[in-house]
Structure 1
Amino acid sequence: MAVRRDILFALGLIVALCAITALFGGGLKSDFYLDDFPNLSVLSSVSMPGGFWFATLQNASSALGRPLTMFSFALQAESWPSDPAAFKRINLLIHLFNTLLVAMVSQQLFALRKLPNSQWLALAVALLWAIAPLHLSSVLYVIQRMSLLAATFSLLGVALYLRADQLFAQGRWRAGYLRLTLGYGACLLFGVLAKENAILLPTLLLLLDGTLCRQRLRPPAWKRYQLAFLWLPLVMLALYLVFFSQALNYSSRPFDMGQRLLTEGRVMFHYLAQFLWPVGPELGLYHDDFPLSRGWLYPVSTLIAASGWLLLISAALGGSRHWPVLSFVTGWYLLAQLLESSVISLEIYFEHRTYLPMVGVCWGIIFWGERLLQQRPSMKRLVLTGFALYLLAIASVTWQQAHLWSQPLLMAAEKMEQHPNSERARLSGAQQLLKRGEGDAAVRLLLHDKSWSQLPASRQGRLLLLSCSEEVPLPNPGYWQGITYSREIIDSLQQLLGALGTNNCPRWPIENASQLLVTLQENPAYSGRHAVHFMQAKLALLVGDLEEAKTQARAANQNGRPDVEWMLIDIALSTGDREGAAIALEQAQQKIDRLGWRSLRYRPLLKAYRQRINGAPPP
């Protein structure tokens, strides 16, 4: 009987995985979006000497650089940038594996609560979670492989903790401690190397220990173990954020910490609403227009949301003994997004932040549904029929939205209609028009009947790039004398310089680019002069003025990075100056040595330059 049940359960899992693949597969032939480009452009260097490890270790998204995820991307470098579907297929495979992990963890938790049919309940949790259209942004947005992998190791860590709990219940202290320490430690390490969210794994284990596992038998020295292995990483994280990180710096954001916290209360209820009853046009990547909370009553939903969370948190904290499931579900949802939805100065709204938090919500829904059927067995047919219809409704939204992802221009148009103030939707629409060869339409979409000074920096930067090949009403030179620093403008100018002198940029004479850089350099309010010097050096190299290139390169301050030295080495080697190249290499070595473990990303390149210098022909 047990073997037959296991076979049926395995078949059920296979059918569920096939259904998930069919739903998400419609969106695989879509495009790269948003942060895909700045994070993955380094894959173009994989074929160069030391390029593979440079691509793996160079990511600047965080202090650690998320090397595990970047390693997985580097393995697919040959598919960049021509084949987005190759990256998305791997993301989908990770999502399918995570679905199996959700089923495994859910079964362990149901068994812990001594519910019958724990396998089928776990399958229901996994299916409800996996087909949610909210997760399209995690699977089809390539760079969010970071979130997928962080969730993978977090779920594995929870599963290993629950297995150790079983060993503790059997009195096998040593085996339990060994499994927990090695398994949890490995999952925490690999999870953090995928994305920093995994540092919250200890909070999830502490939550389990204080709720669903509260009455379980615990081994000797358990409290000391918790302090050393669960609480200590969290204390170290807090100290890092407060004293060593720029994560709490809001100077580049149009909101402060208080406004962000007030807004996130509404956002987290919005996530729940979109998960439980998704509205297709409101889904997607383009939520940069989500209205901020400027005060408790602006809008009034801020106070309502804050009151709702206060009640739920109070019930969860006060009822952990009597209502452990409520405490667990509430705690899991909030703690799993503690980093991205609290005090750190990130953007307000992204759907991928719900990927792991929704596991607890789904488990709670199925748990309470089963309890309802135990108390009202006469409602079984009604509840099961309703649940099946609900899954079909959710699946239909996922299928429709996945196919919309495969039509990027149509998706951008729909999202612009739903989010008229979204800069991301407008930029995405312009990008798709440009791909179709409709440059004039892209320019009109970006200008949107506004003058240049009225445009946000992101659109100004994109228009600068478009002006390479399209007629764009650029501002007069005096405009650049009064602007302040903008990362978007710098990035666009750097791309523009890369296109100068090629067929991709026939409308920009080199003299015009040089004059623009000089104007920015003379602007007393512009704080990005080091970047301008560096671009002037590149421009001087382009026209063959090596002395000017060296002068501008030495004036550039690359904030500890050896980019200037690489350029000086290239200039010296081009003139046969091996001594000058060696001096620049030594300066690069000193900079790299000060980077600590992050210097690993530059070591292969350093070695390649040393070999070039040693093998350079004499002048």
Structure 2
Amino acid sequence: MLWAVMPLLASTSLIAIQRMTGLASFFGLLGLIGFVRGYALAEQRPLLGYVWQMAALGAGTLLSIFSKESGALFPVFALIIDFLLRPAVGGGYSGKVALLRRVTLLLPLVFVIFYISPLRMDWFRFDEYRGLTPFDRFMTEQVVLWEYLLRAFLPQSPTAFGPFHDYYPAKPVGLQTITAALGWLLLLGLAFAWRHRYKWFALAVFWFLAGHLIESTSILLELYFEHRNYIAVYGICLFLSVGAFTAKGRLAGVAPYLLGGYIVLLSTVLFAMTVLWGQPGKAAESWNARHPGSARAALHAVFVEMNSDFKGLEESNNEYISRERQAFAMKVLDRTKTACPDCLDVRVQALMYSCSLTPPEDTRARMAEALDVARLGRINVAVVDQLFNLQELIKSNACAPLSYSDLLALIDGMRDSSKMNVQVYGAKIYFVRAIAAQELGDVQEVWASLAAAENIAPEALPVLQYQVYYALELGDVERAAQALARRELLPDVIRQLPEEQISAMREAVATAMKESQP
């Protein structure tokens, strides 16, 4: 019950994409239940019991991995059970089969440790996509894990929990990270030293750290997400529950009631939290206020406000209400940018709203600010989407103060960013640049932008289509054929492109060649 009502874990169910964690846990826990039940069989028939345990755990783990990769950790949980609790669950026998089981369970742990270790990856290689090294992330997570514990077990305000932690900074190696790491080493040492006398405490420590081996170490995922604790905190909940019902002396009679009161307290916070999440507008506003440095929280608040239901409103009032919502959105974005000096997405979104809300000089001032931030600002998916939208505004003359030259300048300001070499960002941004250059009639810049996009993502179909059909439009059949030929020289690339589209381009080039012959 304690585990079920933890507010920290609620996002696992309340955020649709995180339900993969719940599904993976369902299969993995079923595998663990089968594994533990197999001890009774192994007591009588060791070899058959071993086969049963590995089959149950293996099936549960396999299904869990297909739900989410972190399901690979369930054999590690089984190893912790086998290491600490085997006599308590009826597996007190020893012998070759018991040794075989222990070795079998050790293999997944060895694999996971190798997977996250410097033996497999360069811990000091800077990653352009995340903006840090695996070592930076590993040290930052030492602090994050302590914060998870604080959020999980110390009652918090309902607004303390939410989906927006994108602004969580990487922690430099220093007093905070080193102290946090030494704290975990101390806990590990105590857990190992006390594993016989205080086995439930040892289980809580080993279980929590095992649950974070993949998502909270060196693998370059985002730094902070609450749902990562879904299985990790279960061992601590088990420790507290067993402690409450096995307490001795004066605590024996009161400890279960203290635990019950604690559960009620957490349930109250959980209820308030789910009520808040059930009111999207209020939730978005509270998250934005709680996380002023989160660009995602600000953009989410804007999205919720701009997509509020117009049903029941007079048609004539819709335009006025839309303008009022845009004005509110601009206030949210302007408030956020003061707390986030490198949030380019927040500034570009506000810039687009200013096109219809504020005088031209304000829009020009916002463009100038965006140009300043572009050189060092954060490039993300939102920025890419906004560039496409800004291009459409300029094309439709819906933002009179701005021109395609401004859009080119904004994109050129991003060129020095390491994110421009990342496929999901750079190729699309150069694609927009090609559109802007085409609108300005600068053919050479179109080809230069498309060449840069191709260099970053040769498998991007829209880039290839742009190159082929734009070349054919200009009557440059040879250039169109060369664009196709370059992809065909790369087997891994050509296999990723849809055959139907490739055939259509080949046919268009062949037709143009025939028509160009005298």
TM-score by length of 2: 0.74
Query: Counterparts of 2:116 and 2:205 in 1: how far apart (Å)?
Result: 27
Instruction: Give the alignment of 1:511-526 within 5 angstroms.
Output: 512-517=403-408, 520-521=411-412, 525-526=416-417
Q: 1:79 aligns to what?
A: none
Q: 2:214 aligns to what?
A: 339
Kindly name which structure, 1 or 2, has the bigger radius of gyration based on alpha carbons: 2
Report the Cα offset of residue 519 of structure 1. Answer: 6.1
* Residue of structure 2 aligned with 1:349, choices 203, 220, 224: 224
Q: What code does the residue aligned with 2:432 have?
A: M
* Residue of structure 1 aligned with 2:17, choices 143, 146, 151: 143
Report the Cα offset of residue 140 of structure 1. Answer: 1.4
Report the Cα offset of residue 593 of structure 1. Answer: 2.0
Report the Cα offset of residue 232 of structure 1. Answer: 5.3
SS of the aligned residue for 1:537 comes to helix
Q: What code does the residue aligned with 1:401 have?
A: M
Contact 2:212 2:228 in 1 (8 A): yes
Q: 1:534 aligns to what?
A: 431
* Residue of structure 1 aligned with 2:456, choices 558, 570, 577: 558
Structure 1 254/224 Cα, relative in aligned 2: closer, same or farther at 3 Å? same
Query: Which stretch has the larger CA shift, 204-213 or 416-425?
Result: 416-425
Contact 2:70 2:214 in 1 (8 A): yes
SS of the aligned residue for 2:233 comes to helix
Structure 1 292/251 Cα, relative in aligned 2: closer, same or farther at 3 Å? closer
Query: Counterparts of 1:401 and 1:156 in 2: how far apart (Å)?
Result: 29
Report the Cα offset of residue 610 of structure 1. Answer: 4.5
Q: 2:76 aligns to what?
A: 203
Q: What code does the residue aligned with 2:285 have?
A: A
Report the Cα offset of residue 202 of structure 1. Answer: 3.0
Contact 1:546 1:571 in 2 (8 A): no
Structure 1 607/255 Cα, relative in aligned 2: closer, same or farther at 3 Å? closer
Report the Cα offset of residue 402 of structure 1. Answer: 0.7
Q: What code does the residue aligned with 2:275 have?
A: H
Q: What code does the residue aligned with 2:196 have?
A: R
Report the Cα offset of residue 331 of structure 1. Answer: 0.6
Instruction: Give the alignment of 1:436-455 within 5 angstroms.
Output: 436=308, 437=322, 438-448=325-335, 454-455=341-342
Report the Cα offset of residue 158 of structure 1. Answer: 2.0
| Unaligned ranges ≥5, structure 1 | 1-126
Instruction: Give the alignment of 1:16-415 within 5 angstroms.
Output: 127-174=1-48, 176-177=50-51, 179-213=52-86, 216-217=92-93, 220=96, 223=99, 227=103, 230-231=106-107, 234-235=110-111, 238-239=114-115, 242=118, 249=125, 264-280=141-157, 281-287=159-165, 297=175, 303=179, 308-372=183-247, 375=248, 380=253, 382-415=254-287
Report the Cα offset of residue 138 of structure 1. Answer: 1.5
Query: Counterparts of 2:471 and 2:109 in 1: how far apart (Å)?
Result: 47
Query: Counterparts of 1:241 and 1:464 in 2: how far apart (Å)?
Result: 44
Residues 21-63 of structure 1: CA distance to partner in whole angstroms, max 9, x if unpaired?
xxxxxxxxxxxxxxxxxxxxxxxxxxxxxxxxxxxxxxxxxxx
Structure 1 202/462 Cα, relative in aligned 2: closer, same or farther at 3 Å? farther
Q: What code does the residue aligned with 1:328 have?
A: L
Residues 358-396 of structure 1: CA distance to partner in whole angstroms, max 9, x if unpaired?
211222222222222xx569955x555444443332222
Q: 2:318 aligns to what?
A: none
Query: Counterparts of 1:335 and 1:236 in 2: how far apart (Å)?
Result: 10
Contact 1:534 1:552 in 2 (8 A): yes
Contact 1:150 1:195 in 2 (8 A): yes
Query: Counterparts of 2:261 and 2:301 in 1: how far apart (Å)?
Result: 35
Report the Cα offset of residue 353 of structure 1. Answer: 1.5
Q: 2:317 aligns to what?
A: none
Q: What code does the residue aligned with 2:433 have?
A: Q
Query: Counterparts of 1:458 and 1:211 in 2: how far apart (Å)?
Result: 50
Contact 1:202 1:234 in 2 (8 A): no
| Unaligned ranges ≥5, structure 2 | 309-321, 513-518
Contact 2:5 2:267 in 1 (8 A): yes
Report the Cα offset of residue 413 of structure 1. Answer: 3.3
Query: Which stretch has the larger CA shift, 435-444 or 565-574?
Result: 565-574
TM-score by length of 1: 0.63
Contact 2:79 2:106 in 1 (8 A): yes
Q: How many residue pairs align between the two structures?
A: 479
Structure 1 466/378 Cα, relative in aligned 2: closer, same or farther at 3 Å? closer
SS of the aligned residue for 1:203 comes to helix
Query: Counterparts of 2:181 and 2:369 in 1: how far apart (Å)?
Result: 48
Identity rate of aligned residues, in percent?
25
Query: Counterparts of 1:397 and 1:431 in 2: how far apart (Å)?
Result: 27
Structure 1 487/591 Cα, relative in aligned 2: closer, same or farther at 3 Å? farther
Highest relative contact order (Cα 8 Å, sep 6+), 1 or 2? Answer: 1
Report the Cα offset of residue 405 of structure 1. Answer: 1.1
Query: Which stretch has the larger CA shift, 469-478 or 550-559?
Result: 469-478
Contact 2:393 2:399 in 1 (8 A): no
Q: What code does the residue aligned with 1:363 have?
A: L
Q: What code does the residue aligned with 1:184 have?
A: L
Report the Cα offset of residue 249 of structure 1. Answer: 4.7
SS of the aligned residue for 2:204 comes to helix
Query: Counterparts of 2:136 and 2:273 in 1: how far apart (Å)?
Result: 31
SS of the aligned residue for 2:498 comes to helix
Report the Cα offset of residue 352 of structure 1. Answer: 1.1
Query: Which stretch has the larger CA shift, 257-266 or 188-197?
Result: 257-266
Q: What code does the residue aligned with 2:330 have?
A: V
